[in-house]
């Protein structure tokens, strides 16, 4: 989605803002722009990549030490320079950048047009610029008051940064529903929608809460509510470092993050697994352990990859904790009038912690009396701040749009949560300790899978030209089949469907034609024989079998060509998704690169979907 970076301080703003924009590129966007105040307000915008804007700015630099910059992912109006941010008013030199959507922008626009304002774009953001300008009164609080007053009139979601030619030493930021972080430096501040645009300059930050406005000058800040009541924000240390958001020896973030998984999962487990005692320590859940143990239903929700992880979570909660569990897309749950009985625990799964549908479903369930829990990666994100309890993934910043290390982090947290609950219900110390021992060995097992990278690349090269693929699995590996298909389609633009392996004979088998790749997850688990039957059904109709199988399985190579088999170490079925997904991540990444796509910036996609 859109990205915000703004600066006020003593340095030249343009290079700093440009660096911030580059760090925000991964979020997905279609145009970019920058405004800087020096002697006057200067602005440049461009359609396409940040590099296009950079070229323009190299030819005609913007000078000044206060500025705002933005990457836009179109919601209102087409992808044009006129619709790109920043937007300006038509009177006093207000410039604004905005993430989110203003729902009542049409009525506000009519009101402003009646007052003589002339609009040049189709965006809701320009309406906000005009409204701030209309309400601006230098003698009565200036920009800060105008922003507070304007936002009291607005319905919808926003994170904004605003400057005004009339107040060249002031930057005003505000938020409702879209994240905004303020980095506190030495006589300088950086405001951004994402910590990655801040961390190179300072690690001291505070988040704005919903309905808060922050007025910044070079050496001071003041945070207030929309009613101008001062609030004191909590300054905290950012827990990411620069290395984590840089490519290092890798060509793409996606590949880097796939290879990071052994280490990221070690961090997810660190200090949480006490194998000798057969217990799991989850600090963020401890206070609510009784609610979890006595839950009558666990309802898990998320979108995309997070939904697929939640589906594994559903199986784990039923299997290990013996609590009825259900998974539902957040976008459906939020509008479906769900029955939330007494004793419902809602688990919201999200890498970013900002996905609009997941946040809304969580709030809906909370209103209806559910105890809420977050399984989130980004510390301090909206979902993390809105839940009663939670477990952070600790996998570090995920920059690749295709989620990889967050997925395995989510699976690991789900497994720990199921053990945490199961141990307090029916699971013996011994059974818990056994599964924990396996969890502890997962990073090393993934290292072994990653050694097959070259052969997985060869498989990708053999089939990358095929336009239709199937991904099939059963039980715990049905969600992995969904995830394998999602990975392939989002970065390689190949049509892929993931489904329960037994489902093919109810229709999809009609699709099988000569050489169609069908990826089976065929690890040694309770449904292995059934998967073999499904493999034969596809193979006998001309499908080409690619399989994920358990080391030492001699049967599988009777059904699939040995060079088309990816091997995983032996692991118990409930934990197998942690391993089976890894070759599928590599397969998708290679297929996309072979087809010539930028895997970190797939078309039309945004890293974090903060709009409906
Ligand atoms: O930040 P979240 O985990 O809430 O994001 C949910 C989905 O938007 C996300 O998983 C998306 O499907 C990814 N592109 C998948 O790789």
Instruction: Read off the pLDDT of residues 227-245 as tens digits, 9 standing for 90 and up.
Output: 999 999 999 998 887 888 8
Residue 380 has pLDDT above 90, yes or no: no
Rounded CA-CA distance 73/67 in Å is 20
Q: Which of 256, 489, 601, 607 is catalytic?
A: 607
Backbone angles phi, psi at 302, to 5 degrees: 170, -175
| The pLDDT of residue 2 is above 90 | no
The bridge status of strand 66-72 relative to strand 3-8 is antiparallel
For residue range 280-307, list pLDDT tens digits in order. Answer: 999 999 999 999 999 999 999 999 999 9
Rounded Cα distance between 526 and 219, Å, is 64
With a 6 Å cutoff on the Cβ, whether 358 touches ligand 1 is yes
Q: Is 362 in the pocket of ligand 1 (CB under 6 A)?
A: no
Q: What is the pLDDT of residue 74?
A: 83
CA distance 481 to 466: 18
Q: Kindly indicate whether the domain formed by 247-448 is annotated with CATH number 3.40.1280.10.
A: no
Is 607 marked active-site?
yes
How far away, in angstroms, is 400 Cα from ligand 1 center?
11
The helix (H) or strand (E) run that includes residue 465 is none
Q: How far apart are CA 395 and CA 384, in angstroms?
A: 15
The mean per-residue pLDDT over the stretch 453-472 comes to: 97
Dist CA 529 CA 399 (whole Å): 39
Residue 597, both tokens: 């796509």
Q: Distance, CA 532 to ligand 1 centroid (Å)? A: 32
Q: pLDDT by residue (tens digit) across 314-362?
A: 999 999 999 999 999 999 998 888 888 889 999 999 999 999 999 999 9
The predicted pLDDT at position 91 comes to 94
Helix (H) or strand (E) holding 87: strand 87-88
316: left (phi over 0), alpha (psi -120 to 50) or beta: alpha
- Clarify whether 2 is annotated catalytic: yes
Q: How far is the CA of 390 from the centre of ligand 1 (A)?
A: 18
H/E run at residue 46:
strand 41-47
Nearest to 403 by CA among 546, 580, 581, 247: 581
Question: In this structure, what token pair is assigned to residue 281?
Answer: 């320590």
Q: Is 350 in the pocket of ligand 1 (CB under 6 A)?
A: yes
| Arithmetic mean of pLDDT, 78-97 | 94
Q: Is the CB of 610 under 6 A from ligand 1?
A: no
509 band by pLDDT with thresholds 50, 70 and 90? confident
Whether 297 lines ligand 1, by a CB cut-off of 6 Å, is no
What is each CA distance from 395 to 47, 351, 406, 415, 558, in whole angstroms? 33, 10, 6, 15, 38
Domain limits, CATH 3.40.50.10490, in the chain: 247-448, 452-599
Q: pLDDT for 357-370, tens place per residue?
A: 999 999 999 999 99
Convert 329-366 into a string of H (helix), E (strand) and C (coil): EHHHHCCCCCCCCCCEEEEEEECCCCCHHHHHHHHHHH
d(CA 376, CA 349): 6
From 254, 483, 603, 609, give the residue whose CB has the most ligand 1 atoms within 8 Å, as the site to mutate.
609
Please say if the pLDDT value at position 402 is more than 80. Answer: yes
Which spans in 340-498 are helix H? 356-367, 382-386, 405-423, 429-450, 453-463, 478-492
Tell me, what's the pLDDT at 593?
97
Fold (topology level) of 3-243: 3.60.20
CATH code 3.60.20.10 region(s) in the chain: 3-243
Percent of the chain with pLDDT over 90: 86
Say whether pLDDT at 150 is over 80. Answer: yes
pLDDT at residue number 21:
96
Atom of ligand 1 at shortest range from CA of 358: 4
Per-residue pLDDT, averaged over 442-463, amounts to 98
Helix (H, G, I), strand (E, B), or coil: what is residue 210? Answer: coil
Please state which CATH number belongs to domain 452-599. Answer: 3.40.50.10490
Find the helix packing angle between 124-135 and 142-152, rounded to 10°.
130
**What is the SS3 assignment for 469?**
strand
pLDDT at 610 over 80: no
Q: Is the CB of 410 under 6 A from ligand 1?
A: no
558 token code pair: 């009777």
Q: Residue 375: pLDDT above 90?
A: yes
Mean pLDDT for 27-47 is 93
Residue closest to 212 by CA, chosen among 178, 241, 166: 178
């Amino acid at each position: 989605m859109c990205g915000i970076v703004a600066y006020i301080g003593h340095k030249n703003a343009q290079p700093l803002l440009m660096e911030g924009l580059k760090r925000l590129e991964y979020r997905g966007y279609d145009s970019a722009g920058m405004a800087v105040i020096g002697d006057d307000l200067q602005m440049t915008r461009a359609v396409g990549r940040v590099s296009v804007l950079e070229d323009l700015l190299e030819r005609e630099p913007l000078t000044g030490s206060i500025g705002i910059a933005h990457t836009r992912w179109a919601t209102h109006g087409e992808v044009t320079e006129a619709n790109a941010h920043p937007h300006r008013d038509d009177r006093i030199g207000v410039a604004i950048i905005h993430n989110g959507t203003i729902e009542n922008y049409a009525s506000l626009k009519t009101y402003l047009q009646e007052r003589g304002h002339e609009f040049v774009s189709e965006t809701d953001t320009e309406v906000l610029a005009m409204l701030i300008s209309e309400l601006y009164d230098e003698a009565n609080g200036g920009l800060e008051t105008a922003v507070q007053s304007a936002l009291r009139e607005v319905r919808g979601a926003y994170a904004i940064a605003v400057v005004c030619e009339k107040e060249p030493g002031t930057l005003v930021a505000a938020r409702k529903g879209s994240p905004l972080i303020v980095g506190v430096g030495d006589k300088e501040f950086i405001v951004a929608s994402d910590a990655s645009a801040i961390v190179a300059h300072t690690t001291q930050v505070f988040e704005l809460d919903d309905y808060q406005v922050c007025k910044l000058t070079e050496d001071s800040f003041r945070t207030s509510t929309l009613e101008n009541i001062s609030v004191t924000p909590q300054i905290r240390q950012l827990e990411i470092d620069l290395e984590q958001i840089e490519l290092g020896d890798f060509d793409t973030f996606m590949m880097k993050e796939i290879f990071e998984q052994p280490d990221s999962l070690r961090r997810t487990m660190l200090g949480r697994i006490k194998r000798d005692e057969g217990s799991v320590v989850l600090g963020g859940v401890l206070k609510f352990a009784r609610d979890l143990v006595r839950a009558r239903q666990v309802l898990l929700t998320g979108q995309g990859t997070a939904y697929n992880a939640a589906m594994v979570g559903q199986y784990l909660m039923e299997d290990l904790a013996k609590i009825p569990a259900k998974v539902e897309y957040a976008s459906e749950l939020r509008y479906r009038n769900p029955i939330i009985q007494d004793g419902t625990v809602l688990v919201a799964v999200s890498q970013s912690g900002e996905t609009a549908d997941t946040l809304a479903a969580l709030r809906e369930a909370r209103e209806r009396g559910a105890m809420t829990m977050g399984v989130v990666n980004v510390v301090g994100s909206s979902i993390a701040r809105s839940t009663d309890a939670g477990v952070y993934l600790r996998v570090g910043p995920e920059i690749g749009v295709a989620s990889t290390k967050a997925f395995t982090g989510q699976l690991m947290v789900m497994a720990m949560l199921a053990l945490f609950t199961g141990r307090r219900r029916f699971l013996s110390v011994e059974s818990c300790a056994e599964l924990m021992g396996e969890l502890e060995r997962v990073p090393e097992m993934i290292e072994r899978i990653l050694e097959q990278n070259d052969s997985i690349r060869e498989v990708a090269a053999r089939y990358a030209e095929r336009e239709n693929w199937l991904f099939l699995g059963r039980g715990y590996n049905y969600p992995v089949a969904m995830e394998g298909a999602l990975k392939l389609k989002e970065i390689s633009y190949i049509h892929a469907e993931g489904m329960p392996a037994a489902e093919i004979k109810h229709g999809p088998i009609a699709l099988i034609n000569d050489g169609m790749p069908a990826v089976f997850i065929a690890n040694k688990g309770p449904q292995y024989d059934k998967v073999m039957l499904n493999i034969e059904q596809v193979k006998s109709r001309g499908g080409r079998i690619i399989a994920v199988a358990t080391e030492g399985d001699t049967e599988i190579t009777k059904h699939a060509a040995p060079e088309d088999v990816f091997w995983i170490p032996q692991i118990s079925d409930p934990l197998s998704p942690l391993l089976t997904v890894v070759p599928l991540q590599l397969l998708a990444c290679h297929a996309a690169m072979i087809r010539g796509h930028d895997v970190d910036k797939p078309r039309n996609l945004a890293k974090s979907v903060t709009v409906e």
